[in-house]
Amino acid sequence: MKLKFRLTKKQLVIAGVGLLVALIAFSRAKKDTGADTGPQLVPVVIEDVTNTTVVQRLLINGEIKGLNQADVYPDVPGKILELYVSEGQYVGAGQIVATIDRNQVGMIFMPATVRAPISGIVGKIYVEKGRTIAPSVPVMLIADTRIVEGVLNVPEKDIGLYKIGQEAEIRIESQPGMVFKGYVSRITSLIDPLTRTLEVRLTLVNTDNKLIPGNYADFAIKVKEIPNQVVVPFDAVIDMFERKEVYVVENAESPHGGAAVKDNPGTPKTVPLGSGKYLVARQRQIVTGIRDGGMVQIVEGLKPGERVISLGKENVIDGTLVRPVKLATRAAAQTTGTTNAATNAAAGQR
């Protein structure tokens, strides 16, 4: 006589759960016998907090104008007969730049000449051949571009920061990577009542005539230098709107970030492994001041010799274990970054 056993649905479920538990236990046992791979470390770029001289600069946009420039007007009305020059061409004072056909119905005249009032570069031609103009219509603009001016319209709130003699760096889009030098040479005494701005003029040395009157330019005005200031890379600062923070890197004695950290229930026990065995990221609030290129002044919260995370901070939280990595282009980026000054309008702005 044969006996037949049939498992109920409940028994099948219990058996399946038991098998799953056994497999998990076997897997853990096998993992425990393997090599200890240690805690996971997040790669970051770590940089030192240093002392240096901070330069406060004002960034403002302006226009390039010829220090000595003039619009050229005809003496008589008529039609443009010929234009003898082109934009960018050098002309001498008294040189004929155009002729005017001043003939009228029933009257014939010799063509009238239009002459350059000054020596310089033809910056702009306003008319074309065949156009009829009057003596009040300019034909072209001529500018002596060996020395040019930068014209700035300064907001009323910043007027007190500008002084005669301040150095400036100037950049234009048509000459990428090139930096021109100049200085504040004139500050007008009246504020424009419509725009609430004050006109400030700078004298610029026009290297190889690359600055053309009419160019739109970016000006970085050097306001002052503050020596012996604590600075960090701007990339290290986390802007939280209401406050600013950095991740400071500290030595840790354990994978939990230090002996003072208590073990959480269900986690492995903290094992002291010796000072400096691990590096841990610690979140800290700071107060910033002037930004000078790729660096930013620290008013409160850090001291020289400490270390901060400049790249990779997005991947960590307070207590994350990290490992330092180096970027080959980092040094070059910092060097060029200092020339791209983008700073606060007032010293010690927080």
pLDDT band at 20 (very low <50, low <70, confident <90, very high): low
Task: Give the residue among 43, 83, 50 at the shortest CA–CA distance from 294.
Answer: 50
Point out the least confidently predicted range of 22-26, 279-283, 344-348.
344-348
Please name each of the domains of the chain with its CATH number: 42-54+227-337 (2.40.420.20), 57-64+145-226 (2.40.30.170), 74-101+110-138 (2.40.50.100)
Tell me the pTM. Answer: 0.58
Structure tokens at 122: 């033809």
Q: Is the pLDDT of residue 121 over 70?
A: yes
Residue 259, pLDDT > 50, answer no
Look at 153-157, 195-199, 276-280 and tell me which has the smallest mean pLDDT.
Answer: 276-280
Greatest alpha-carbon pair distance for the chain in Å reads 141
* DSSP letters for 41-81: -EEEEEEE-EEEEEEEEEEEEEEEEEEEEEEE--SS-EEEE
